[in-house]
Amino acid sequence: MKPDSRTALLLALIALVGVIALTLQRRTPIEDPNVVAEVTPLTADSRRQTADGSPSQAQDQTADSSRQFPETIPTPTLTLTPSPTLTPSLTPTITPTVPTPTETRRPSPTPEPWPEPLSAPGQSKIGLHVTVNSDPRAMEFVRRVKPSLIFAIGDTGFLAEVKAVSPSTVTIARYDDADYSVIGRVSPEEWAHTFVDQHLERYRLNPGVDYWEGWNEYRPLDPAAWDWYTRFEAERARYMDSLGLRAAVGTLSTGVPEWGEMANFIPALRAARDSGGIFTLHEYAAPTLYCGVGAGPADAPILSGVETGALTLRYRYWYESYLKPQGLGDLRLAITEAGIDGIARQEVCGGPPGFGWKDYVSYWAEAGFGDDSSTAYLEQIKWYDSRVRQDSYVIGFALFTMGAVGSPNHSTYDLHDMAIPLAQYMATQK
């Protein structure tokens, strides 16, 4: 090869080396502390050293190149990837868990105490009607206050205990098995004997009963029916007297008979008085026991100076108009059923329909009688008691009922909750 050729080749190689060096210089990144490259950052040590502690090859090449080429080297344009916009993570609002408050347990109301037993009967004429002797409060009531009257229907055996505990308490009972089909077919006198004979064994087995009723709430609707029933009751009283038993005649329903019809029954009442018997009837009212007071039977005369009623205190029409004028004012009367009964409710008195006293407690509260149902009823009973006590011929009245059984409606009459409040009141009436 000629010398000129060799010189030309050498110059070409030198030029090629320069081009390569320039290329490497341009590819070496220039560190800018304000630029964040799209790379995974290294640790400070790894950015400056290799694993064996010597300067990295890239650092060495950069140093050499900066010495061989001018300092005015164009800065390479870097495409920067912006940091993603971050949605700030909000601290969640924590709804505090409020613990359910633990109800402070209130002690159960202290049961009302029974009053101390009376040593003798008080002045009150309150008594009890007992459907079934299933409530222990019935006998406890007798032990505590020695009521004037206890009435039993069907379940009569406990009346012997009543008499043992309270000899002065008048006991009256009835068996409900009337046969109305005999009216007009069988002589009333004959049927009176048949009726008594049918029950005679049970009468004998229950010496704790002072008086026996016959039919319950029979309502004669014409003179012939009045005549039959009057003769039946009169003969029943006489026949029972002959057997050493005593009859309670009448058992008339609330609000009947009309004033003019009362005269039809006078012969039976006379027979009862003469045979050692008594007169019984029922007095109910609703929505309060005061309903109808001041009124009376449509055909009745005004009784001057006597408080009467169409429902409660109706019995006074019997005595003031008929019995006293005819010398029968000493015939003793027992009101063997009394109290609140929606069946007897009068439209003129208002109030809702219902049955027993429990059906009217809301009405009483709205009417201003108070929220305590027992107290609201007791106040009415006390009023009735105060009126009945004015009449010496009245033995007492039997509030309906203890031991309620039968239809669900009967439970609305039940006096379980009233027994102690009644006893407490009666204990004060000495």
Distance CA 117, CA 154 (A): 28
End-to-end CA distance of the chain, in Å? 160
Distance CA 144, CA 421 (A): 12
The reported pLDDT for the residue numbered 61 is: 39
> Rounded to the nearest 10 degrees, what angle do helices 419-427 and 373-388 cross at?
50
Write out 88-156 in H/E/C secondary structure: CCCCCCCCCCCCCCCCCCCCCCCCCCCCCCCCCCCCCCEEEEECCCCCHHHHHHHHHHCCCEEEEECCC
Contact 259, 300 (CB under 8 A): yes
- Taken in order 366, 372, 376, 377, the sign of the CA dihedral is positive
pLDDT in tens, 109-163: 556 799 999 999 999 999 999 999 999 999 999 999 999 999 999 999 999 999 9
The average pLDDT across 257-268 equals: 97
With the CA atoms of 316, 318, 322 and 328 taken in that order, what torsion angle do they form, in degrees rounded to the nearest 10? Answer: -90
Across the chain, what does the average pLDDT equal? 83
Compute CA distances 246 → 171, 175, 203, 277, whole Å.
11, 15, 10, 5
pLDDT at 216 over 50: yes
Q: Which domains does the chain have, with CATH numbers?
A: 126-427 (3.20.20.80)
The phi and psi torsions of 417 (rounded to 5 degrees) equal -75, -15
Contact 259, 299 (CB under 8 A): yes
Give me the count of residues in the chain.
430
Contact 241, 249 (CB under 8 A): no
Distance CA 152, CA 162 (A): 11
Q: Which two tokens stand for residue 15?
A: 């030029």
pTM summary value? 0.75
pLDDT in tens, 1-38: 444 555 556 655 665 655 455 444 444 444 443 433 33
pLDDT at 53 over 50: no
Q: What angle do CA 55, 58, 63 make, to 5 degrees?
A: 80
Compute CA distances 18 → 5, 13, 25, 72, 240, whole Å.
20, 9, 11, 17, 154
CB-CB neighbours of 126 under 10 Å: 26
- Residue 285 — pLDDT band, cuts 50, 70, 90? very high
